[in-house]
Structure 1
Amino acid sequence: MKTKLVWLFWGALFSAATAAAQTPAPLLQNGLARPGIWLNGDWHYVVDPYDEGVRRRYPLNLSPAASTGVVEYDFAASPTLHVPGDWNTQRPELLLYEGTVWYEKSFEYHPRPGWRSFLYAGAANYRSQVWVNGNPLCEHEGGFTPFNCDATSLLKDGANFVVISVNDTRHADDVPALRTDWWNYGGLTRDVGIVEVPDSFIQDYSLQLQRGTGNRIAGWVRLAGAPATNRVTLDIPQLRIHREIPAPDGKATFEMEAAGLERWSPDDPKLYDVTLVAGNDRITDQIGFRTLEVRGTQILLNGAPVFLRGISLHAEAPLRPGRAHGDDDARTSFEWARELGCNFVRLAHYPHDEHTTRMADRMGLLVWSEIPLWQGIAWTAPGVSDKARRQLEEMIVRDHNRSSIIFWSITNESAKSAERNAFLHELATAARSLDGTRLITAATNQSSRPEPHKMVIDDPLIADLDVVGLNEYIGWYDGVPADLDLTSWSNPYDKPVIVSEFGGDARQGLHGDPSQRWTEEYQEDIYKHQIAALRKVAFIRGIAPWILKDFRSPRRQLPSVQDGFNRKGLISNNGEKKKAYFVLQQFYREAARDRGAATRSDGR
């Protein structure tokens, strides 16, 4: 009876403490560059399939040998998982696990007097709760966006520990919802650390090239914390810019000429070192400057039409199993895309990590970034709109200084309905209010077909978009490749269209007649017919075929062919190129050559 009362006491105590945990603080811009310590590396873990960790006092990080009563866990003696990383591919027994895993990390830390310390996580899929030294800190929902929580009052000088519970159970009212076509990688999948800022600090900032100008930079800096300063210093040494900017009420705004500015483009991805100083806070970023707009069915980059030679890709590691993270994974995937002839990547179907978007800046790849409003969203369920809006905001706030990003995408392949249309109208409005410098898009497969080979791109969602993403699988899910020769397309909205998905599955090394599904030859034939057909459509301003590399999906179970992988990749999960890769590569070489100045996109 006594033991039962003890359990009830601790359960009630920690339930109340968890309820008192704060929501994350507003996101710190450029968190990866802030001072502090990174907690990446091995973390001890305990699997909790019944979600009893709070009741069993996991947040206290107790030692069975040093504690009174019964303690049925011991992080210090438990196995480890590497952070960043998913749990599914690090431990075979966790490959299909969905539920809660508890992570623990002990570390030495010495807080700086007069500074704040934030626990920063690049992403934790899907729900996470954070405790510092046994005290509740914060909780976050959403598996692909960063969060930071003010841990100043909970960290000590010397030995500290952090415990984070991560739960990746799927729910109908989540974003994404119950069903996806990618692996539900759980865990602390991106960087985790302690980020430090002074009591008065730079919260966020934005620098952009003004639309319609060649060398006029506009932007703002937002300050937070104690009101220790009302002035911001901006330095861009390569442009000989040094400005002292007033920041009344904690916000500085500015416009200035930048003589000699070189605009960022895929052919010349010029980045400038930008340093901001406010009081004791100093941060340096690398930012490119370019303009972006639409004119009729054209997309203009730096004032010149651009054709987007793209490819879609998931955030799967290119050379090992599991979730991608860090510079090396991003660089390898983008080198493959560059070798293919791409100037554009669609980062599907959720925000990829910050290393990826920064690598795109450096390597000169235009980017489509999206939130995971995939199929099956419960549009009218309580809280779903708030979840989608929060993920959209976290994506945009993190990356609004990335010159590579040209599109914010708000959904993929969502079925038409009045409820969906209203939901996405509000989301598009929110995206424009958060960032009016980029184009809003979405990928739709909701075209109508008045006749067997006539397609009309008429999803009502398009009214809220600047650029239309069209997913079509003629030759795979829809008919055979030769049907493309007879298909015509119309565009009643008179907006730029990107074919954001097409393709078909092929097991690398499986060969046969071009009419035999699952072979490299069949996939190759799809690409030949698709490219020939799309060449004839005047309003198409780019393509992003599905997909660069085979990726894990629990829905794909055809033995000896799929084996748990979506096989639409142009490159196998082992890094081997399929025949269709070279068909697309040849088309992109021709497109780059034939379009000349339009594909240079440098505005000169």
Structure 2
Amino acid sequence: MRIIKDINFNWKYTDQFKEEFIGEDFDDSHFSEVNIPHSNIEVPFNNFPEEIYQFESCYRKSLWIDKWHDDEMVFIHFEGVMTYAKVYLNGQYLGEHKGGYTGFRIDLTPAARSEDYNLLAVYVDSRERSDIPPFGHVVDYMTFGGIYREVSLEYCHKVYIESSLIKGRNLLSETPLMEVDLHLKNSDGRSGVISCNGELVRENRCVLNFSREIALSGNENQLHRFNCSLENIELWDIENPALYHLNLTLTEKGKETGNYSYRCGFRDISYRPDGFFLNGRRIKIRGLNRHQTYPYAGNAMPKSAQYKDAEILKEELGVNAVRLSHYPQSRHFLDRCDELGLLVFDEIPGWQHIGDDDWKKISLKNVEEMIKTDGNHPSIFIWGVRINESQDDDEFYAKTNDLARSLDNSRPTGGVRCFPGSRLLEDVYTYNDFNHSGKNAGLIKRKKAAKSKVPYLITEHNGHMFPSKKFDNEKHRTDQAKRHLTVLDRMYGDSEISGAIGWSMFDYYTHQDFGSGDKICYHGVMDMFRIPKNASFAYASQQDENPVMYISSSMNIGENEGSLLGDVYIFTNCDSVKMYKGGNFVKEFYPRRDLYPHLPHPPVIIDDFLGDAIEKNETFSRRNAAVIKELMTKISREGYSLGLIDTIRMGLLFLKTGMNYKDAEDLYTKYFGGWGGAANSYTFEGFIDGECVKRVEKNQNALPRLVLSVDKTELREEETWDCTRCIVSLADSSGNIFHYGNDAFHIETTGPIEVIGPETIALVGGSVGFWLKTRGEGGQAQVKIHSGRFGTIEENLNIEVRGK
């Protein structure tokens, strides 16, 4: 028997702790009613004391426990409790766990009453304790608190599979194998023989059957490894993420004792000095780092939100890899990465600091928990077994690497460092390269960082070197994007660099030592609501799956220094872009491979706003029209002070054409300045293979309106509550955002949903997001936005909440 039951609804919670709270007779009617995942406190969006979530708290639940037999046990499984937990059942202490980023199981059997209600109490310490990684020194991210990942009950036999690791061997040969590591728990130390029957299933079709006999050694912990031949196996790949289920049944003396199902995939990973190879094919890794935090809720978000982040990375940002910085993250996020074909760099908790021997023991335990928990995700291509950006510690890191390889030798190990010449005990030299200043080369050479010819991966770049807010001026937002493009171009052009993972996917909460003083690091290519900044399109434009054409400018001259529009960057994967001004065709522009020779899709740069308009509309000769255009274009970029040679050319032009200085000013105003004239409108058309695939309008007379969009309109409660993201934008009819809009509005909900965070908020950089969550009831729901300026926007979302 093996039964798993989710127990995420109807918990009691208080933001304090006293010993009396663990007792069965304690009256907890004054506690709050909460559902899991749960944050110990909702935080403001910014500007709050970092100690706000660092306190002790208590969770209680009246827990029905089914009947179990003498040879069975009942466990509780916590997927994540930040930071330290002690578990009690019916007043009896049963166990503890140190660390908030890995799950743990507690045996409830000694204190449980079968076929009865039991009182579960959990003490949670969310303080930053120096004895637990990543703490002990400063940390560049907030950790928040509470039982923030799901909880379940598990009934199982006393001989059970604690974890299983499914690996592929010789996958590119004619004799591929499936290797299975079963980590068995023999709780009562019995001997004898049990049988393991298995089937490998792909899309409801069994592709392999097998049976194995396992001799029990009498030890509590036992590893059993076996191989099976694989035939006609479909390999997992970033373009074809083929997934299988391995179903295992344990029997003892003809009696079934447990059923297990593990989703897995088979792929060949090879990391060499000349790059990363997946199934024998060399792939450049283009990725972003991800923290697990959300506005207001901290870390506590369910499956659908985790899924959405993976979908944004793969489908919107077009990357092929993500680094889990700096800790293991939700199984739901990993599940979706498996399904989408998104490579994952998984690493142990930590940030620069290495603690004492006891601290290191917990870190080693983190290595084991990470690999045993996440090992069957084919998306994971490397284990991070070094504390992020820490100093060398050969003795400690020899242990983390040895442990990782003993548990899983099918993947390489890496260890993220930020200084050159670090001792390499891992398989891959993973390095944070913050060399780029906006003017120099994007990345340093491998030999300067690693000092040797080894597999090499950039794990962070940009980030704190150029923070960018969604409400910064246009040039600053575009410069952030250009910096990411420069690094990507250098990465693609250097065969010794296997890839680059940028910092970071979105803005995140941080401590006072970092960020912009408001407890936010604005390092992301998106804001904290996962709303794109310009830099996000530097990544999105490098993929081929979806047409992308993002105009980095509002085309308003007054946004720029000296009211000079200058070059306009278009981040696109189109073959060409045609520009029209006032409905008149100006010119067709092409990607600037001369500036970005190695990018899959260099940006298009609009550096000509006239085309042949002067020649067509004025009476000048073709040659004189060309000189006028050249000089005026130079003025539009560099200002009115021409150099000596250009001043002489301008004087000769006056003599040839009869123009005077006033005529030249009028001509410049007509074609470049636009002050006092009719507002300009621009149209951009993007072409792929001769077909127009994208069209963007930029009209300076466009009127703003408030727009509400919702990620999904049907919410489904399964193992816990569900949620959906809503985005409110100030945009014109063409979808262009008014980046300096900061209007406030009120959110009204009806039906069984509620807002995470405050119900009255304001736009930030022209847009803002919020999440709606279910309340454990079924029915219809609506959301309305009330704006003092724009009135009530009634969006009848018809959200259907399906109760469990």
The TM tier, using the shorter chain, reads: 0.7 to 0.9
Match in the other structure for 2:78: 121
Question: 1:199/1:489 Cα in 2 relative to 1: closer, same or farther (>3 Å)?
Answer: closer
Partner secondary structure for residue 350 of structure 1: coil
CA deviations on 1:315-347 (whole Å, 9 max, x unpaired) are: 124x86421543212211111111211121111
Q: Which residue identity lines up with residue 120 of structure 1 in the other structure? A: H
Match in the other structure for 1:296: 273
Partner secondary structure for residue 248 of structure 1: strand
CA deviations on 1:259-309 (whole Å, 9 max, x unpaired) are: 111011111111112110002201122211112122333222112222112
Question: 1:229/1:150 Cα in 2 relative to 1: closer, same or farther (>3 Å)?
Answer: farther
Residue pairs, 1:6-25, within 5 angstroms: none
CA distance in 1, matches of 2:261, 2:599: 35
Question: 1:410/1:486 Cα in 2 relative to 1: closer, same or farther (>3 Å)?
Answer: closer
Q: Which residue identity lines up with residue 3 of structure 2 in the other structure? A: P
Question: 1:533/1:324 Cα in 2 relative to 1: closer, same or farther (>3 Å)?
Answer: farther
CA distance in 2, matches of 1:422, 1:224: 30
CA distance in 2, matches of 1:83, 1:117: 20
CA distance in 2, matches of 1:205, 1:359: 20
Question: Of 261, 266, 277, which aligns to 1:284?
Answer: 261
Question: Of 427, 431, 441, which aligns to 1:484?
Answer: 441
CA distance in 1, matches of 2:508, 2:539: 19
Partner secondary structure for residue 383 of structure 1: helix
Question: Of 587, 593, 598, which aligns to 2:542?
Answer: 587
Match in the other structure for 1:377: 354
CA deviations on 1:424-469 (whole Å, 9 max, x unpaired) are: 122112211121111100111112xxxxxxxxxx211x2x121122
CA deviations on 1:514-552 (whole Å, 9 max, x unpaired) are: xxxxx3133123213323333332211111101111111
Give the length in aligned residue pairs. Answer: 519
> Shift of the alpha carbon at 1:212?
5.5
Match in the other structure for 2:124: 166
Which gives a bigger RCO, structure 1 or 2 (Cα 8 Å, sep 6+)? 1
CA distance in 1, matches of 2:444, 2:400: 33
Match in the other structure for 2:163: 204
Q: Which residue identity lines up with residue 157 of structure 2 in the other structure? A: P
Q: Does the 8 A contact of 2:386 with 2:415 survive in 1? A: yes
Question: 1:389/1:211 Cα in 2 relative to 1: closer, same or farther (>3 Å)?
Answer: farther
Question: Of 107, 112, 118, which aligns to 2:63?
Answer: 107
CA distance in 2, matches of 1:283, 1:553: 40
CA distance in 1, matches of 2:66, 2:37: 23
Q: Does the 8 A contact of 2:492 with 2:599 survive in 1? A: no
Match in the other structure for 1:85: 38
CA distance in 2, matches of 1:86, 1:486: 39
Q: Does the 8 A contact of 1:172 with 1:377 survive in 2? A: no
Q: Does the 8 A contact of 1:89 with 1:95 survive in 2? A: no
Residue pairs, 1:175-574, within 5 angstroms: 175-177=133-135, 178-211=137-170, 213-214=172-173, 215-225=176-186, 227=190, 229-237=193-201, 238=205, 240-249=207-216, 252-279=224-251, 280-317=257-294, 321-338=297-314, 339-378=316-355, 381-417=356-392, 420-447=393-420, 458-460=421-423, 462=424, 464-475=425-436, 480-484=437-441, 488-490=445-447, 491-503=450-462, 504-513=466-475, 519-555=476-512, 563-574=518-529
CA distance in 2, matches of 1:321, 1:556: 22
CA distance in 2, matches of 1:89, 1:211: 50
CA distance in 1, matches of 2:49, 2:68: 42
CA distance in 2, matches of 1:352, 1:44: 25
> Shift of the alpha carbon at 1:415?
4.2
Q: Does the 8 A contact of 1:87 with 1:94 survive in 2? A: no
Q: Which residue identity lines up with residue 261 of structure 2 in the other structure? A: T
Q: Which residue identity lines up with residue 210 of structure 2 in the other structure? A: R
Question: 1:90/1:446 Cα in 2 relative to 1: closer, same or farther (>3 Å)?
Answer: closer
CA distance in 2, matches of 1:258, 1:410: 31
Question: Of 36, 42, 48, which aligns to 2:4?
Answer: 36
Q: Does the 8 A contact of 2:414 with 2:430 survive in 1? A: yes
CA distance in 2, matches of 1:110, 1:471: 51
CA distance in 1, matches of 2:127, 2:415: 26
Q: Which residue identity lines up with residue 61 of structure 2 in the other structure? A: K
CA distance in 2, matches of 1:585, 1:209: 32
CA deviations on 1:551-585 (whole Å, 9 max, x unpaired) are: 11123677xx6622111111111232011111122
Match in the other structure for 2:25: 62
> Shift of the alpha carbon at 1:136?
0.6
Quick check: 534-543 or 565-574, which moved more? 534-543
Matched, 1:151 2:104: no
Query: What fraction of aligned residue pairs are identical, expressed as a percent?
Result: 21
Q: Does the 8 A contact of 2:246 with 2:264 survive in 1? A: yes
CA deviations on 1:27-73 (whole Å, 9 max, x unpaired) are: xxxxxx9623222134222333xx6x23xx2211433xxxxxxxxxx
Q: Does the 8 A contact of 1:88 with 1:94 survive in 2? A: no
CA distance in 1, matches of 2:129, 2:398: 24
Q: Does the 8 A contact of 1:132 with 1:161 survive in 2? A: yes
Partner secondary structure for residue 404 of structure 2: helix
CA distance in 1, matches of 2:108, 2:323: 36
> Shift of the alpha carbon at 1:488?
4.7
TM-score (norm 2): 0.61
CA distance in 2, matches of 1:100, 1:181: 22
Question: 1:485/1:273 Cα in 2 relative to 1: closer, same or farther (>3 Å)?
Answer: closer
| Greater C-alpha radius of gyration | 2
CA distance in 1, matches of 2:513, 2:482: 22
Unaligned runs of 5+ in 2: 218-222, 252-256, 545-572, 574-597, 602-804
CA distance in 1, matches of 2:103, 2:161: 17
Q: Which residue identity lines up with residue 348 of structure 2 in the other structure? A: I
TM-score (norm 1): 0.80
Question: 1:382/1:218 Cα in 2 relative to 1: closer, same or farther (>3 Å)?
Answer: closer
Question: 1:493/1:88 Cα in 2 relative to 1: closer, same or farther (>3 Å)?
Answer: farther
Q: Which residue identity lines up with residue 484 of structure 2 in the other structure? A: Y
Match in the other structure for 1:24: none
Question: 1:256/1:488 Cα in 2 relative to 1: closer, same or farther (>3 Å)?
Answer: closer
Q: Which residue identity lines up with residue 373 of structure 2 in the other structure? A: R
Q: Which residue identity lines up with residue 404 of structure 2 in the other structure? A: A
CA deviations on 1:69-103 (whole Å, 9 max, x unpaired) are: xxxxx422122343212213279999713121111
Which protein is richer in strand relative to its size?
2
CA distance in 2, matches of 1:344, 1:176: 24
CA distance in 1, matches of 2:42, 2:51: 6
Q: Does the 8 A contact of 2:507 with 2:521 survive in 1? A: yes
CA distance in 1, matches of 2:38, 2:157: 30
